[in-house]
Chains A and B, each alone.
Chain A
């Protein structure tokens, strides 16, 4: 993975004393820092100057997040009237944006604010998390940090993972999932995680990684990192999301599944998720403009019930079915689920479906 090196750092004065701020500034000594009282003007500044998306990411903002850190997964919120089955997942947004350049990334369209942001008020994040989880002792939470940012891509700079992993190590009814396309796991090794953190990698065949997941760690680097985490006692997870339908997809996915289970024992894999490529029209148009060589917008994508463009249903069913077969072949017993899919797709691909989001969530945590 290409390391992140911003051209400037904008520091909101309210987080000047935060440990996260200190971590970043110590590790980026040569980068100019502008201290500001308020960051309100930055959005209009960014819009007026309209820097390209890649250019805007060279500015790193260290600021305080003033809303609720803890939220239901956007997948659940965006279901609308669709019958899609979600996995009862929660997210905490410790950062926003990602310096890697996956052609399909929804953040390029979704984020209003174009700069890289790290929310440095970690004390508030940790106390909100503790309070929320402790206030519902009868339920079990699966919580991720990888919705608006890669969980570990900036961890070399922020060291955010350390206090999070340690916090979850002491929580009886929650598990933290750190999702990444990087191999930045050094900060995780040796922590007292007590099995309450799962390190997860987004996976695709080498061909897709090379052509569509720009500036990310290679698949081999991700697998090396996964093996190191397993050696340190962590469970790991893999997300084939987005799955891409391209000439040679069958061999590509079968091969990467075989490689995963050659490196990692199936009993250390918490779950594997499958999700077909999806996007809305505006994102597809933006992709065509930003990445004219990407093959992804040329797929047989049709408007689905939730308004997103998805592969035509028989294509999705075939891909899910085959991937599940290969996962069963190479990693017998691994729990597999589909992300944001229709009930009849579940039935056709997997031969059954959960009755509710909660049932799926429960199925995933049963073995933890």
Chain B
């Protein structure tokens, strides 16, 4: 293919399997980055099959893989190597994050099913996977409930896919339900703010915001206008709004 009729090659005979395997790993690393499952496979085989000392892997192989030379990273890869096959498949098939797969390993089968179905149907990216798994982990721990039980408490069904709703809507429902359980006071505050703001019936060109998580002492009001007449009208409207009880209550939320 390269227009060469012959290539120089050295026939290596009698090398132990361990050397051949390690050679193959390094050859791969020379040409491309290994994904986490491939890294885990390489490290796992070297440790479990060939009894390779961990220290040499930490010092040499991990940096070759672009990882920090630490026992923590080696242990993470070994845990990934020993992971349940179905979770391994989910990493490659539905982009389940490896660190979340490791957490799911400690969950019951039906709990994993619920989470994996959500990841798949909503095509959850990195941040959303982290957000939901963290909420679930915390709630499992603090309430002692299973994921199924939490789903029920939030008014969700295990077969949420049966409902006519978009992936975004489904994610929003799940997130809101879990947030209300995990952060009840904050979520109630947020919902109250949304209600109060709606009751003010502000025109679209006036935007009213409170600081994130209510950590601040000012309400931000943004007015957009195209001309002076419109500005006068919006300012007049804002003056009326300032007299409404709802506005007073919004300040009290801070």
Contacts and interface: CB of A to CB of B under 8 A. Distances in A.
Contacts of B183: 300, 302, 312
Contacts of A304: 213, 215
B138 A50 contact: no
A298 B254 contact: no
Contacts of B58: 48
A130 interface: no
B142 interface: yes
Interface string A283-321: 000000000100101101011110000101111000000
Contact of B141 (A48, A298, A310, A342): A298
B138 A312 contact: no
Interface in A349-364: none
B214 interface: yes
A49 interface: yes
Contact of B215 (A48, A297, A305, A315): A305
A297 B186 CA distance: 16
Nearest to B186: A312
Interface string A46-57: 011110000000
Interface string A255-271: 00000000000000000
A16 interface: no
B110 interface: no
Interface string B122-163: 000000000000000010011000000000000000000000
A343 B189 contact: no
Nearest to A314: B185
B186 A305 contact: no
B217 to A, nearest CB: 4
A292 B103 CA distance: 13
A300 B184 contact: yes
B185 A300 contact: yes
A221 interface: no
A12 interface: no
Greatest chain B CB density within 10 A among A50, A313, A344 is at A313
Contacts of A313: 213-215, 254
Contacts of A314: 185, 189
Interface string A69-86: 000000000000000000
Given A314-B189, A344-B254, A303 B213 contact: yes
Contact of B186 (A47, A48, A300): A300
B70 interface: yes
Contacts of A47: 70
Given A297-B138, A303-B215, A342-B217, 8 more contacts: A49-B71, A50-B72, A300-B184, A304-B213, A304-B215, A312-B186, A313-B254, A344-B254
19 contacts: A48-B58, A48-B69, A48-B70, A49-B71, A50-B71, A298-B138, A298-B141, A300-B182, A300-B185, A302-B186, A302-B213, A303-B213, A304-B213, A305-B215, A305-B216, A312-B185, A312-B186, A313-B213, A344-B216
Shortest Cβ-Cβ A-B pairs, 7 listed: A344-B217, A298-B142, A50-B71, A302-B213, A312-B186, A304-B215, A312-B185
